[in-house]
Amino acid sequence: MSRKDALLKLKSVLVNRRNALRAALAGDLTALKELTLASGDLADLALDSAHEQVTSQMAEVESRELVQIDEAIARINHGVYGACDGCDKAIPLARLEALPYATLCIKCQIKLEKSGRRDWSELSDEAYDSV
């Protein structure tokens, strides 16, 4: 499969997941459960609690994931999906398949984690300040 085809496939994964999350946030876990069963490889994303009741904490996690998924879909629509925010290199497909809304390659992610910052824009702001 070409990278382009793989990215298209990831888009449909993201759209399905967004729809399921929206439904789950509305109190309907049926779609999320079905999605969990259908795509075993994505099951560990944030679905550990899918069989439990929707708690406010879970809703918070899902809302955050929903935002990340929305952003990933927007990036796909703008043709910039799959490029690392940090170094502009292509994020390896294996990483995107494990974490479809990743915005950093593993190298930059580690750099970010070591910095103790929450997102890359904070890190780059700091980099600009030190210039």
Residues in the site for Zn ion, rule: CB under 5 A?
Answer: 84, 86-87, 105, 108
Closest to Zn ion by CB, 55 or 124? 124
**In whole angstroms, what is the distance from residue 20 CA to residue 39 CA?**
13
Q: Is 82 helix (H, G, I), strand (E, B) or coil?
A: coil
CB of 23 to Zn ion, least distance (A): 34
CB of 106 to Zn ion, least distance (A): 8
* Cβ density class 76-91: b for 16+ within 10 Å, e for less: beeeebbebbbeeeeb
Closest to Zn ion by CB, 48 or 88? 88
CB of 71 to Zn ion, least distance (A): 17
**In whole angstroms, what is the distance from residue 76 CA to residue 80 CA?**
6
Closest to Zn ion by CB, 47 or 102? 102
